[in-house]
Structure 1
Amino acid sequence: MNRWRSLTGRMAATLVAITAGSLVLTAPATAAPIPDTAPSVVGGTRAAQGEFPFMVRLSMGCGGALYSPRLVLTAAHCVNRTGTNTSITATLGAVDLQASSRIQVKSNYVYRAPGYNGSGKDWALIRLATPVTSQATLPIATSTTYDSGTFNIAGWGAAREGGAQQRYLLKATVPFVTDASCSASYPGDLVAAEEICAGYASGGTDTCQGDSGGPMFRRDASNAWIQVGIVSWGDGCARPNAPGVYTQVSTFASSIASAAASLGG
């Protein structure tokens, strides 16, 4: 199984223009050893400039969302450990990663979920050296209220399984998949209390390599965006009966908030 959907350690892939009608998101990489990488957004379309201002591209080949002006929420498998880290570059504010208007900020610290061992607990926070106040942040779900229905996914990952990373941000929508149905697809692998699944039984639309750590989100009761998942893993990209698996943000909302407070964000 091509479990993770990140490209940590696989940055040789070149950025290419998005294939029309294709959007793929990728899965995360573990600390050590680094796992095979997986998806971007498959079966998607190009996002408009400013449509998802909270989206972040991370230089190790993962995605993320702006949790606060100084913090990016991403996947644990995208980072190695908790501690000082000045090697990550976050790109924000542009759907085109080569746009002159893009914002680029270095990291200064990483917090990886305590107890992360490659199964569940797949979340992390990256603190930026300087705050980004010009872009909207993405609130996270604090209950399971929004953990069903239709979700949005977006990322710069591959637009097909095994494909190259994208220059332009792609977007798509995917429906909720029950724990029972998802467990049937991944017997013994799904951590139902910590993960949430989404995708079509027929396949065709999914996250893929290079999209690990990016958000899965939807509208809340006030019609504002709210994050319900973090791109984590899956069997390939957009395969039939192989939904994308995401960290269930509501499960870890209090832990994420506590970690954010400890980081000054």
Structure 2
Amino acid sequence: MYSKRLPEMYALVGVFCLTLFYGVAMSAAPAFSDRDTNCGGVYKGDSGIVTSPKWPSRYTKKRRCVYEINVLPGRTVNLQFSSFHLQARKKGRCRDWLEVYNGDIRVGGQFCAREIAASRVFKSHANRMTVVFKSDRKRGFPGFKGTYSSAGCGSPVVPRAPWTKNSGNKIVGGNEAAPGSYPWQASLRQYGYSGGFHVCGGALLSNRWVVTAAHCIVNGLQWVVLGDHDRRKSTKAKQTVKIQRVFKHPQYNDDTLVNDIALLKLQSAVSVQPVCLPDPAKEDPAGTVVAVTGWGTVSEGGHTSSVLLQANMPVVDDSYCVDVYNIIADALYGFDKKIDPKIMMCTGYREGGVDTCQGDSGGPVVVFPPKGPAYLTGVISWGYGCGREFIPGVNVRVSAYVDWIRNIIDSN
């Protein structure tokens, strides 16, 4: 079993095998003390869906729901309703209504009937938006469905280089990324002055926070480098920042690599676009195509890459991955790694050949949806070998940790 990091001093920690995500001031946003427990909630991912109670069925009467959308600082919120149908006004008043707050400022009064067009986009000025819904004692109507996303993350200016399977010959199944096309990609460095040795990958979440794998936290880990592409060259885009503080997941297990996730707080802010966090209520299904990147070894036990490499892989069915690693555990004495689909996700091709490998650990597993910003669905963690036939790589399922990530960042 390999953790996908490079060894100390040589960065056996983290290299991955590219072989096997408008306003009129009227009143302040309401407090949460009145929130109906059967609707509303706090939304901390960088994208998500808000719906009326019982959607897509008719909403129930006598409901008051508060939806607080709270993305990371430095981002803003865009909210759009694809469906909106509440009870019509009577004598000019809404009986059932929806309100949108830009921070504490209500936008446009109360909405009902079909008054919010699908083309309308509500945009916040900061990182918080609140939606309030209230129904009266009468019968319910079809309700609403809104989709929100963050602005300020997951939208690289530089387009990605084309990738086709077997197009690469420098990493396990990958090819060279276009410089700047994955701006959130981080390199974790060990020892040395203002740089040191590459140990693992990471992903920038905001201007002072990087997420990585917990097993990448080794002695001498001092620096995070962002804006890098060719590790042999110094460029204006490269930003090297000292690590100020490390937060390992409190239930991380170094033997089983359960909860293999950590956050790094940087000593100073960087000017690099981060990746978006996923919707914590959503899991990407099997077959979803993800992009993986890193400077890891180009083959199992091989040499690392000087330039940033990329590859695309599908998400693997949970039951298949569980079965594969159960077979490995039964066959190998002392192999105690198990797949927990609630907190882990597997990626790769059954025929092998494309995977992450040593030195890629902690790096990003990203979904680029047809519409909307890219989001971090996984963190590269471990696997049995690199790019082997039938054996997928294992990643941290980030959606399971959004609340933990936000709690650490918000309180520090």
Report Cα offsets for 1:152-174 as digits up to 9, x if no partner.
Answer: 00000001000122110000000
Q: Any stretches of 5+ residues in structure 2 without a counterpart?
A: 20-169, 191-198, 330-337
* Cα distance in 2, alignment partners of residues 194 and 41 from structure 1: 27
Aligned residue-pair number: 235
2:173 to 43, 51, 54: 43
With 205-214 and 92-101 compared, the bigger mean Cα shift is at 92-101
* Cα distance in 1, alignment partners of residues 171 and 211 from structure 2: 18
Question: Mapping of 1:174-253 within 5 angstroms?
Answer: 174-187=313-326, 189-220=338-369, 222-253=371-402
- State the Cα distance separating 1:99 from its structure 2 match: 2.5
- State the Cα distance separating 1:183 from its structure 2 match: 0.8
* Cα distance in 1, alignment partners of residues 186 and 251 from structure 2: 25
Q: Any stretches of 5+ residues in structure 1 without a counterpart?
A: 14-22, 27-39
* Cα distance in 2, alignment partners of residues 88 and 50 from structure 1: 23
Question: Mapping of 1:19-168 within 5 angstroms?
Answer: 24-25=17-18, 42-60=172-190, 61-80=199-218, 87-101=221-235, 102-118=238-254, 119=256, 120-133=258-271, 135-141=272-278, 142-148=280-286, 149-168=288-307
* Cα distance in 1, alignment partners of residues 396 and 262 from structure 2: 11
* Cα distance in 2, alignment partners of residues 173 and 209 from structure 1: 17
With 96-105 and 235-244 compared, the bigger mean Cα shift is at 96-105
Q: Does structure 1 retain, via aligned residues, the 8 Å contact 2:173–2:311?
A: yes
* Cα distance in 2, alignment partners of residues 235 and 123 from structure 1: 19
TM-score by length of 1: 0.83
Q: Secondary structure at the match of 2:181?
A: coil
- State the Cα distance separating 1:220 from its structure 2 match: 3.5
Aligned Cα root-mean-square deviation (Å)? 2.1
Q: Does structure 2 retain, via aligned residues, the 8 Å contact 1:86–1:106?
A: no
Residue identity in the other structure for 1:100? S
TM-score by length of 2: 0.54
- State the Cα distance separating 1:88 from its structure 2 match: 1.6
Residue identity in the other structure for 1:143? A
Identity of aligned residues (%): 36
* Cα distance in 2, alignment partners of residues 185 and 110 from structure 1: 33
* Cα distance in 1, alignment partners of residues 296 and 364 from structure 2: 13
* Cα distance in 2, alignment partners of residues 145 and 171 from structure 1: 23
Cα 1:76–1:25 shift into 2, 3 Å: farther
Residue identity in the other structure for 2:260? D
Report Cα offsets for 1:178-201 as digits up to 9, x if no partner.
Answer: 110001110161122110001000
Q: Secondary structure at the match of 1:130?
A: coil
Residue identity in the other structure for 1:49? P
Structure of greater relative contact order (alpha carbons < 8 Å, 6+ residues apart): 1
Report Cα offsets for 1:243-262 as digits up to 9, x if no partner.
Answer: 01000000111111111112
Q: Does structure 2 retain, via aligned residues, the 8 Å contact 1:147–1:228?
A: no
